[in-house]
Amino acid sequence: AQSVTQLDSHVSVSEGTPVLLRCNYSSSYSPSLFWYVQHPNKGLQLLLKYTSAATLVKGINGFEAEFKKSETSFHLTKPSAHMSDAAEYFCVVSDPNTGNQFYFGTGTSLTVIP
Amino acid sequence: ETGVTQTPRHLVMGMTNKKSLKCEQHLGHNAMYWYKQSAKKPLELMFVYNFKEQTENNSVPSRFSPECPNSSHLFLHLHTLQPEDSALYLCASSPSRRPRYGYTFGSGTRLTVV
C-alpha cells in the first residue's frame, strides 16, 4: 500500500529565509514523487517530479527536492522565500509500475512573513 | 492558464437542482480525471477516463454522474446533492494513464450546496 505524510500542516517563514516542507512516503515499489502548489482560488500546479532519475530534482520558482530512499523522504526546499510563495503545497506519491492513481498528502500551508 | 479550463468557477445550487460542471483541455491528453477537494482532507479521486472510457469510479454516489464525449471534454452532472457535497471540484488531465507524466489541473469549480 502507498501513502504519503506531510509532517507539518502549516509552516511560517520570514521573507528571504529558507523554506523546508517535509514529506515522507510509504511504498512497496520504487515510487514516482511529485510536489504541487495551489495558490488561493487556483488549481494545482506541478512544481517538480522525481521519476527514478537524479535524486536531487530542481523545479520551478527556485524550489528543489531530494529523494532519499533510505529515509523514505522527499522534502521540498527553497533557499530564500518570496512573498509569492505563500500557498498550499501537496506532496504526491504514485507507483509507476502499476500505473495507479496519485496519493495526495493533506497539504502544508506556507505563510511568508514580510 | 494551465491548458485545462473549468466552468463555472463558482456554483451555488439547491439540493433539488440539476447542474453540470464542465472541463475542457486542448493539450492532446488522453486521460482525464475528476477530484474532490474538501477542507482539511486529502484530494479524493472520483472518476478516471482514458480514451473516453471510464476506467475508475471510486465508489462515488450516483448523484454524481460523469460524461466524457471525447478526449478533450469531461462533464460532471449533479443532481439532488447534499450540503456535504460542497467542495472544490478539480479536473485534471495527463498524456496517458501512467503517472510519471504528472497531471495538469484546472482551477476548479467551487460548489456550494444550500
Q: Which of these, A30, A89, A19, A27, lies nearest to A55 by C-alpha position?
A: A30
Structure confidence at residue A2 (pLDDT)? 64
CA distances from residue A28 to A8, A42, A89, B56 in whole angstroms, order as listed = 24, 33, 24, 22
Buried b (16+ CB within 10 A) or exposed e, B60-97: beeebebebeebbebbbebeebeeebbbbbbbbbbeeb
pLDDT band at B9 (very low <50, low <70, confident <90, very high): very high
8 Å CB contact of A43 and B107 = yes
Q: Which residue of B has its CA nearest to A97?
A: B98
Residue A99 has pLDDT above 70, yes or no: no
What mean pLDDT do residues B82-95 have?
94
Q: Which residue of B has its CA nearest to A43?
A: B107
Which one is predicted more confidently, B90 or A102? B90
Q: Which 3 state secondary structure label does DSSP give A84?
A: helix
Cα-flanking dihedrals φ and ψ of residue A19, to 5°? -115, 135
Element (H, E) at A64: strand A64-68
Of B6, B45, B107, the CB nearest to A101: B45
Instruction: Residue A46: list chain B partners with CB under 8 A.
Output: 102-104
Instruction: Residue B45: list chain A partners with CB under 8 A.
Output: 101-102
Q: Which of these, B27, B28, B21, B16, lies nearest to B6 by C-alpha position?
A: B21
Quote the minimal CA–CA distance from A84 to chain B in Å: 17
